[in-house]
């Protein structure tokens, strides 16, 4: 298996792992912990589990209150997940592949929730007194956010210029030094 193909396989494995862990945690908070019935569970003074049914996407945007809205949101997020999958399968660099895998795994976890329940199960409530740096979120949301931030940071700050077609490429995707420069 080529190095690029094995990287892409690793990205797909990461997506599957994030999806599986996300679904396991959501099942755990819903069933053994019965968070829906309990409302909240204090873990430490600045973090608690709090049952939230999110009908929209990030920050409560595009709230889907109707069945039509729900399925339009499923279709839209499914399309985004498909674009991320195609991008992952074309990407050559492991950092981007890993970030795309995180986004894909998180997106699939939230899509499954929306299909099964009509909403996304959110439960993680990070707070400092009354200050909440984030809305209540879940593992899938965290994976999506971290993946997107990483991709943006790499594209803005550290991504090397692409090598010319005849130029050898190093493991991280940068152009290898030419024999004349050594």
- More confident: 62 or 30: 30
| Residue 160: active-site member | no
- More confident: 55 or 145: 145
Q: Which of 61, 63, 54 is nearest to 136 (CA)?
A: 54
The domain limits of the chain are: 3-155
Q: What angle do CA 132, 134, 138 make, to 5 degrees?
A: 125
| Residue 141: active-site member | yes
d(CA 75, CA 81): 10
Find the catalytic residue in 22, 141, 160, 166. Answer: 141
* DSSP codes of every residue in 47-78: EEEEEEEE-SSGGG-S---SHHHHHHHHHHHH
Find the catalytic residue in 113, 122, 160, 166. Answer: 122
Beta bridge partners of 120: 54
The CB-side HSE value for 182 (13 A sphere, CA atoms) comes to 4
Mean pLDDT of the chain: 88
Question: Would you say residue 115 has pLDDT above 60?
Answer: yes
DSSP letter, residue 120: E
DSSP letter, residue 74: H
Q: Specify whether the backbone of 62 is left (phi greater than 0), alpha (psi in -120 to 50) or beta.
A: left
Band of pLDDT at residue 175, cut at 50, 70 and 90: low
């Amino acid at each position: 298996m080529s190095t690029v193909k094995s990287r892409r396989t690793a990205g797909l494995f990461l997506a599957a792992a994030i999806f599986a862990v996300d679904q396991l945690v959501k099942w755990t908070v819903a069933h053994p912990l019965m968070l829906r019935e309990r409302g909240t569970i204090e873990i430490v003074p600045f973090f608690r589990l709090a049952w939230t049914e999110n009908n929209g996407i990030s920050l409560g945007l595009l709230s889907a209150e109707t069945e039509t809205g729900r399925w339009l949101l499923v279709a839209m997020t499914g399309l985004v997940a498909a674009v991320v999958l195609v991008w992952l399968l074309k990407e050559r660099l492991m950092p981007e592949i890993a970030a795309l895998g995180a986004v894909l795994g998180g997106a699939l976890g939230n899509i499954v929730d929306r299909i099964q329940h009509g909403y996304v199960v959110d439960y993680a409530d990070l707070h400092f007194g009354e200050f909440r740096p984030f809305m209540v979120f879940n593992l899938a949301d965290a994976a999506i956010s971290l993946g997107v931030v990483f991709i943006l940071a790499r594209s803005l700050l550290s991504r090397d210029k692409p090598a010319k077609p005849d130029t050898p490429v190093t493991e991280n995707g940068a152009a290898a030094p030419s024999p004349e420069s050594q």
